[in-house]
Structure 1
Amino acid sequence: MTGPSTRQTIGRYWHLATFAVTVFALVFQLYLVASGDSILDSSAVTTARPEQIRRYFSYFTIQANLLVAVSTYLLVRVRRDSQVLRVLRLASLIGITVTGIVAAVALPPSPSYTTGSLVCDRLLHIVVPVLTFVGWVAFGPRGLVARADVLPSLIWPIVWLVATLTLGPVVHWYPYPFINVDRIGYGSALLSCTAIAALFLALATLALWADRRLSRDRATMAG
């Protein structure tokens, strides 16, 4: 049986590995975008490079991975409880889980991807979500999900949705087809937003319950 100190050590290395993979994927993808080797969407071939870079940072997937990088770094280096860390950890966990789910259900890799872009796509959409979720379940740390943190953790996705829908008609670009108002209309886009918001809230509530359950189970095993 693995003792608490051993589990904590393994957990730190797991979070460090998650951080390293996430940063590599983000930097490599940004390099590909900046060098013109990555086609994020069909209009990128006629879009100026600065706009392509702006679009890169507009993707929910990129922002979720950035939150994973920040939260895992804080877990490894700071290792103390604070509401900022709890909210970042919960927001990153839910955001990257949604990323994995949506990628598996509705966002297959583009056939126009280069080899480098395909590698980044799989890392950002599959590998990092799996590493983050397994790391949270197996190593915690436990006790970083509180009822008071659920609503603050939803601020980021709500701001992202509002900003995307507000800016979209101005730049005539949307990061994902299921919120592309120009193609599907506001009714369908808002329906997609509602479904995503409900999924976020459900996953945050589930994380709160699971964290408490796992904490009790671990305490029982330790006793």
Structure 2
Amino acid sequence: MTTSRIGRAWHTLTLLVAVTALVLQLYLVVSGENILDSSAVTTARPEQVRRYFSYFTIQSNVLVAVSMFLIVRDRMNTQVFRVVRLASLVGITVTGIVAAVALPPSPTYTTANLVCDRLLHVVVPALTFVGWAVFGPREKVTRDDLLPSLIWPVLWLAATLALGPFVGWYPYPFLNVGTIGFGRTLLNCAVIAMLFLALGGLALWADRRLSRERATMSA
């Protein structure tokens, strides 16, 4: 099996794991078996579904699935792919880092919930990062893609903060204006934005470095 075929198989596996985890988690929400947070006990099902799609983890996994699908289908010659690829890579990396540092799984999770949590927060981030580092595709990110890749996280932050006061809910404690205050929340948003920009720039630099090393090895 050639490296490209191994890479395609790896990206296909990542796609399947991401889609499976997303669908299973949504099924648990719709069926009422999943409690996203303590307030969900008294929250209507449509609102629980909306909250499901409001989580950064869910959105980053969706973007990973989209980028993997485009890679597997060999549809990589557009800026849309490059932006989605970079945004998904950075987003899922942030998901893995934050989950490891600040968001351990709830002790009240059922077995199914715990499986979903580990797939979405650990397995998909690991598969995505390793797949990018080892298999590429290389030279699919440019400086012109860096700022457009920030559109999604900025819009997510803006929508989260705008909707929070009306629905009385925030997906993460570090964005809960009612608990930590507006100033602290804005500071956290600034840190998140800088982290995205830094990781995006690092991904751009690493992609070029890996491309040069591969070209040198092939020479």
TM-score by length of 1: 0.97
Pair 1:64 & 2:60 matched: yes
Q: Which residue of 2 aligns with 1:114?
A: 110
**2:214 aligned to which of 201, 204, 218:** 218
Pair 1:73 & 2:89 matched: no
Tell me the amino acid that sits aligned with residue 57 of structure 1.
F
Structure 1, unaligned stretches of length 5 or more?
A: none
- Measure how far apart 1:113 and its partner are: 0.9
Q: Which residue of 2 aligns with 1:199?
A: 195
Pair 1:169 & 2:165 matched: yes
C-alpha RMSD over aligned residues: 0.8
Pair 1:157 & 2:149 matched: no
Contact 2:11–2:71, Cα closer than 8 Å, also in 1: yes
- Measure how far apart 1:78 and its partner are: 2.6
Q: How many Å separate the matches in 1 of 2:80 and 2:3?
A: 24
Q: How many Å separate the matches in 1 of 2:212 and 2:3?
A: 16
Contact 2:76–2:82, Cα closer than 8 Å, also in 1: no
Pair 1:143 & 2:139 matched: yes
**1:6 aligned to which of 2, 7, 10:** 2
- Measure how far apart 1:85 and its partner are: 0.5
How high is the sequence identity, in percent, across the aligned residues?
A: 72
Q: How many Å separate the matches in 2 of 1:50 and 1:78?
A: 36
Tell me the amino acid that sits aligned with residue 153 of structure 2.
P
Tell me the amino acid that sits aligned with residue 48 of structure 1.
A
**2:33 aligned to which of 21, 34, 37:** 37
Q: Which residue of 2 aligns with 1:181?
A: 177
Which consecutive aligned stretches of 4+ in structure 1 deviate over 2 angstroms post-superposition?
none
Pair 1:103 & 2:76 matched: no
Contact 2:28–2:34, Cα closer than 8 Å, also in 1: yes
Residues 100-122 of structure 1, C-alpha deviation per residue, up to 9 Å, x if partnerless?
00101110101111110110000
Q: Which residue of 2 aligns with 1:208?
A: 204
Tell me the amino acid that sits aligned with residue 194 of structure 2.
A
Residues 54-101 of structure 1, C-alpha deviation per residue, up to 9 Å, x if partnerless?
000000000000000000000000343211110000000000000000
Structure 2, unaligned stretches of length 5 or more?
A: none
Q: Which residue of 2 aligns with 1:88?
A: 84
Tell me the amino acid that sits aligned with residue 137 of structure 2.
P
Tell me the amino acid that sits aligned with residue 145 of structure 1.
V
Q: How many Å separate the matches in 1 of 2:49 and 2:76?
A: 35
Tell me the amino acid that sits aligned with residue 157 of structure 2.
L
TM-score by length of 2: 0.99
